[in-house]
Structure 1
């Protein structure tokens, strides 16, 4: 009976530690004046952050992970240069298999290798060119060096 209690206690502690680790992982802070708020989904090896406008439109998405997302971004689709987390990057136009969809011109995607086992995949779904530029500027200013985020790249 004592062995059963010990095993149960160990399992409960392990579950609590896993839940605690997932709760401490968080999206980077958004500027208070951005009008955006994060919706977050944390898994054991990645965090997905979706920034939404007050009317519920998702405009900025980010996946922070320890694994390379492995997305092929072709040079022909390169658009603007930028930075994220202190790393230089290129934003890429979305490739929709040759289809020209409405609003596609103001959408971008990029993948940034932050360090050995830390990647950020970011995509923007802006309403127009002005919002695209604003979201790219906002993305450059996000702080990935908070203690909670440092632990997300297991």
Structure 2
């Protein structure tokens, strides 16, 4: 009976280890001096990181996943070129069905495949063009190397 229990426990441990090896890493470190803080939500299939200012305004969301989010990014909405995790990308204005709420001109979204079966969906909610450039620059410099990724905020 003890052998059966040990086998079941070992099987559960191996399954958990395999799942954690396949699950995305935590949120990347935010640059010091950015005055932003991550709110992190981790599930078995994705990590959601929301960067907020000291007054609670969300300026960036980053979803890391092992699955392509398959968000249609229409070429007419293409804006700036950029990079993330060493991969080239284009930033897009989000498709809001023709609506343009306040701040729409400085909202951006992109999806990038940055490793074998690893995807990042990034959304920026800048208040003006200067903050948009700053957020794009911050995204460009984020390091997703597991050895340097923060596991919690």
Structure with greater proportional helix content: 1
Q: Secondary structure at the match of 2:69?
A: coil
Match of 1:27 in 2: 27
Offset of 1:115 from its aligned partner? 2.4
Residue 123 to residue 96, structure 1, CA distance change in 2 (3 Å):
same
CA distance in 2, matches of 1:16, 1:45: 13
Residue 74 to residue 18, structure 1, CA distance change in 2 (3 Å):
same
1:49 equivalent in alignment to 2:82: no
- Structure 1: unaligned runs, 5 residues or longer: 150-154
Offset of 1:114 from its aligned partner? 0.8
Residue 45 to residue 8, structure 1, CA distance change in 2 (3 Å):
same
When normalised by structure 1's length, the TM-score is: 0.83
- Structure 2: unaligned runs, 5 residues or longer: none
When normalised by structure 2's length, the TM-score is: 0.83
> How many residues are matched?
149
Counterparts in 2 of 1:1-150, with a 5 A limit?
2=2, 6=6, 9-10=9-10, 13=13, 25-147=25-147
Moved over 3 A (4+): 1-22
CA contact (8 A) 2:78 2:93 kept: yes
Offset of 1:147 from its aligned partner? 2.8
Q: Secondary structure at the match of 2:97?
A: coil
Q: CA RMSD in A?
A: 2.6
CA distance in 2, matches of 1:71, 1:92: 11
